[in-house]
Structure 1
Amino acid sequence: MSLEVPVALLERAEAGQVDDAEFVDCVRQSLPYAWAVLTAAAQELADDPTAPFGEHAVPPPSEAERGQLLRALASDSIRGAAERHFGVKFAFQNCHRVAAFALSAVGGQTYSEFISPLAQLRNQSPELRDC
């Protein structure tokens, strides 16, 4: 799943003149399902700032949407731009479980447990092994 980059944006990128807002807009338009998942996790945290994290844990409806999510979270530049946009740190498990942590929580116990190998192993199941 690639980004759909308008010609004008590509020309500005080749000239080194693209800001985060333009990049985020390109991601939002190219990967709408992934953007909706990130937005939902970040919004859940924003709605309850006392919660340990915001989460989206609904499996994607199709392989195309799963591909969007994997593309967004596997790309350092896309993930980083989304994190800067929302002001959170995203953590990712399986093929669909996304959490948004407050930046102040990074390095804390809940965040460290969420991203641990033990948590990764505990969040596996036969139906998710192919994702």
Structure 2
Amino acid sequence: MSLDVSPALLEKAARGEVDDAEFVACVRDSLPYAWEVITTVIADLEGAPDGFADHETPPPTEAERGQLLRALASDSIRGGLERHFGVKLAFQNCHRVGAFAPSQVDSKRYREFISVRGQLLNQSPELRDC
């Protein structure tokens, strides 16, 4: 299971009344390692003059890797985080998270980060099994 959803939040979802703040709080509480990585890279982005920051440290355990994968592989979770923080998130290699200011989404750096070439250049033998 990706998220620990309270009965109250599940009931709200069944009625169609969930807002982004409630959803993001559920993500924060359910995926603490992913939340830590994402909030750290976003804090780094706030001081970045070029509108880009990234996190490249592999997770210490498979459980933490799973949290990061669940957060960034889910369109709804990643979208909720992007709306909440006002950024564009990008993801490579089961652990590399990039955060971009919205103004940078069409930049050369963003296009390179999400490109096939960028993915291939970010590979290494020790990450093949991640």
Q: State the SS of the aligned residue for 1:17.
A: coil
The 4+ residue runs of structure 1 with deviation greater than 6 A are none
1:85, distance to aligned residue in structure 2 (A): 0.9
CA contact (8 A) 1:31 1:68 kept: yes
Letter in 1 for 2:84: H
Counterparts of residues 72-83 of structure 1 (less than 5 Å)? 72-83=71-82
CA RMSD of aligned residues (A): 0.8
Q: What's the CA shift string for 1:29-72, capped at 9, x where partnerless?
A: 00000011111111100122x13411111110100000000000
Percent of aligned pairs with the same residue? 68
Q: What's the CA shift string for 1:61-119, capped at 9, x where partnerless?
A: 10000000000000000000000111100011101110100001001111001111011
Determine the structure 1 residue equivalent to 2:36.
36
Determine the structure 2 residue equivalent to 1:56.
55
> What TM-score do you get using the length of structure 2 for normalisation?
0.97
What runs of 5+ residues in structure 1 fail to find an aligned partner? none
Residue 122 (str. 1) matches residue 130 (str. 2): no
Equivalent pairs, count: 130
Distance 2:114 2:27 in 1: 25
Distance 2:2 2:45 in 1: 28
Counterparts of residues 1-131 of structure 1 (less than 5 Å)? 1-48=1-48, 50-131=49-130
What runs of 5+ residues in structure 2 fail to find an aligned partner? none
